[in-house]
Each structure stands twice: as structure tokens, then as C-alpha cells.
Amino acid sequence: MTTQTQAIAEQTPSFPSPLKEFWQSFSANKGALVALCIFGVALICALFAGFIAPHDPVEQFRDHMLTPPSWQDGGMGTYFLGTDELGRDILSRLIFGARISLLIAFMSVMMSMIPGVVLGLLAAFFPEKLGTAIMRVMDVMLALPSLLLAICIVTILGPGLVNTMIAIAIGTLPSYTRLTRAAAMGEIGKEYVTASRVAGAGTLRLMFVTVLPNCMAPLIVNATLGFSSAILETAALGFLGLGVQPPTPEWGTMLSAARDYIERAPWVVTMPGLTVLISVLAINLMGDGLRDALDPKLKRAA
């Protein structure tokens, strides 16, 4: 027996760590990899805006109002993407805007994911009364278009950075709740949960330690995709004048201010628009890649 055991022991394969395994399947998707790079650039811009941006985002160069981008006639080297109607450098504003947009997106995702997960787990573990109550409230919230709901909330709370986050977070809360509940209900029926109960685990432990880690894959994907829709909604609220207030550089607000000059100075509206487009696209592609890597079943189906 011992010699046999040793012979088997030598054959024991070394398994890659879960992180490495994940990276292998994620990096196989080239589109997702490019998207990750773009997102990385946006993240670096946001973190080190002060060092990267060539100018102060709110400084008005009154002598150079509506300067075109440097590659066009009349463009200037120092204002690479041109200046807006008040003579502010567009590139600097976009770089600083990344900070606001990513901050709002990140915070609103967190503010909806954490309560959403908790509510979803509660609904799954106490399906009788509490679960029904939670899900009906979520149904009501889902019945309203999320942008409309966000506008309502901002109107009540007043425009501003924090209120924008809250408005977007409330709008996306139901999707996290439903997703967590569905995933958790699937897991609760499995034997390892019963095994955990037999071992003496309490309800809180079952919820957060036993079941939650097994529901993370769809949640991570939804959070990534929610990140991009939060950027879009921030821009939409900013465009309507309900989001972040001037002079804070924000992509949506920039679009909104520039629409009067759309014929005279098209770059003023094009640049923030393109920025929103590229960043949202990149995050969506990244989310797709994450889904494929985290949920192999969906990949085979696709």
C-alpha cells in the first residue's frame, strides 16, 4: 500500500492557481485584452490627472477661445484637442473628467451592489414573507425606466456629485437583487449548503461565507457592465444639467455646453462624445471577456 501510495503521489499534478486559470481564459479573448488596456489608460488618467493633463481644467485662456485641434488649420500645439467656448483646454478637461466619471461609476456600482447583494441574499434565504416583500418592491422599481427614476431622484435631492451617485445606484439596485436572489436560490438547494448546516453553520455564515462566493461570477459581470451604463447615465444627467455642476469637468456636462457650437466648432462636442463612446465600449468588451472567463458554460453556448 505504501509503495503504491508513493507511486500515485509522484503523479499528483500541480494545478494552476484560480487566478492564473482565470487569466489564461481571459487573455485568450483579444478584444477583451485591448479593452482592458483602454480601461487601464482611463484609470491612469483618472488617478494621475494632475500630472498628465497639460493645463488646469478650469483655467480660461481667453485669447484662444474655440481653438481647433492641433492637426487642423489654426490649431495650436499646446491645445492638442483644441479649446472650448471659454478657452479651456479640452484634453485637460477630458482627463480630469475621467476622474469624475470613473468615481461616480465606481461609487454607484458599489452603492447598488452591496445593498443589492444583501437584499438578494435575504430574499433567497427567507423566501416566504421577507423575500416576497423585497421582490415586489424591486418589481416596482424595475417598472420605471432607470433614467427617469434617476431624474426623479436628482430632482428631489438636488443636482450634484453625490446625489448623481445615489440616483444611479438606486436605479440599478433591482438588477443586483434579482441576480443575487436567483443565483443564491440555485445554490441553496445544493448539498454543500446542507453539509454546512450539518456542520453547524448559522444563517449569516451560510449567507455570506457559504453561498455568496458561489454567486460571484454573474455579479462581477453585471458590475462591470453596470460600470459602463453608470458612465452613460452620468453623462446623460450631466447633459440635462442635473448631474455634476460646472465648472467641474465632466463628459456629459461638456457635451451639453458644447452643443451650441456644434456647427462652428464641431471638435468641442466630438471629443467628449468620442471619449464616452470609447470608454463605454471598452468596459462592455471587458465585461464580455470576464463573463466568458468566469462562466465557461455560457462560453460554450455562445
Partner 1 sequence: MSLLSIKNLRVEFGSKAHPFAAVDGLDFQIDRGELVGIVGESGSGKSVTMMALMGLIDAPGRVTADELMFDGHDLLKLNDKQRRAIVGKDIAMIFQDALTSLNPSYTVGYQIMESLKVHLGLRGAALEKRALELLEMVEIPDAKNRLHTYPHQMSGGMNQRVMIAMAISCEPKLLIADEPTTALDVTIQAQIMDLLGRLQREHNMGLIMITHDLAVVAEMARRVCVMYAGQVVEEQAVPAIFNTPHHPYTQALLDAIPEHNKGASRLSALPGIVPGHYDRPVGCLLSPRCRFVQDRCRTERPPLAGTDGRVRCFFPLNEEGKPAHV
Contacting partner 1 (CB under 8 A), which of 3, 18, 129, 297?
A: 18
Does the protein bind partner 1 through residue 301 (CB under 8 A)? no
Angle, CA of 68, 77 and 49, to the nearest 5°: 95
Helices (H) and strands (E) in the chain, counts: 14, 0
| Least separation in angstroms between CB 15 and partner 1 | 5
| Least separation in angstroms between CB 121 and partner 1 | 15
Does the protein bind partner 1 through residue 19 (CB under 8 A)? no
Query: What does the alpha-carbon distance between residue 159 and residue 147 come to, in Å, rounded to a whole number?
Result: 14
Query: What does the alpha-carbon distance between residue 149 and residue 154 come to, in Å, rounded to a whole number?
Result: 9
Query: What does the alpha-carbon distance between residue 184 and residue 207 come to, in Å, rounded to a whole number?
Result: 9
Listed in sequence order, the residues at least 6 apart from 269 whose beta carbon sits closer than 8 Å to its beta carbon are: 255, 258, 259, 261, 262
Per-residue interface string for the shown chain with partner 1, residues 189-208, x marking contact by CB under 8 A: -xxx-xxxxxxxxx------
Query: What does the alpha-carbon distance between residue 70 and residue 234 come to, in Å, rounded to a whole number?
Result: 29
Per-residue interface string for the shown chain with partner 1, residues 30-69, x marking contact by CB under 8 A: ----------------------------------------
Query: What does the alpha-carbon distance between residue 292 and residue 299 come to, in Å, rounded to a whole number?
Result: 5
CB closer to partner 1, 9 vs 156: 9
Query: What does the alpha-carbon distance between residue 99 and residue 44 come to, in Å, rounded to a whole number?
Result: 9
Query: What does the alpha-carbon distance between residue 274 and residue 181 come to, in Å, rounded to a whole number?
Result: 37
- Judged by CB under 8 A, the chain residues 106 through 145 that form the site for partner 1 are 128
CB closer to partner 1, 24 vs 72: 24
Does the protein bind partner 1 through residue 158 (CB under 8 A)? no
Angle, CA of 88, 91 and 97, to the nearest 5°: 90
Choices 73-81, 210-218, 232-240, 248-256 (CB under 8 A): range interacting with partner 1: 210-218
CB closer to partner 1, 6 vs 71: 6
CB closer to partner 1, 18 vs 77: 18
Q: How many residues does the chain have?
A: 302
Does the protein bind partner 1 through residue 3 (CB under 8 A)? no
* C-alpha distances out from residue 221 to 88, 119, 173, 275, 296, Å: 37, 19, 15, 22, 13
| Least separation in angstroms between CB 209 and partner 1 | 9
| Least separation in angstroms between CB 195 and partner 1 | 5
Per-residue interface string for the shown chain with partner 1, residues 213-252, x marking contact by CB under 8 A: xx-x------------------------------------
CB closer to partner 1, 14 vs 264: 14
Q: What is the CA radius of gyration of the chain?
A: 24
Binders of partner 1: how many residues, by CB under 8 A? Answer: 25
Does the protein bind partner 1 through residue 71 (CB under 8 A)? no
Choices 9-17, 69-77, 145-153, 237-245 (CB under 8 A): range interacting with partner 1: 9-17
Reference 175, options 140, 142, 217; nearest CA is 142
Plot region of 295 (φ>0 → left; ψ -120 to 50 → alpha; else → beta): beta
Please give the residue ranges that form the binding site for partner 1 (CB under 8 A).
5-6, 8-9, 12, 14-15, 18, 128, 190-192, 194-202, 210, 213-214, 216
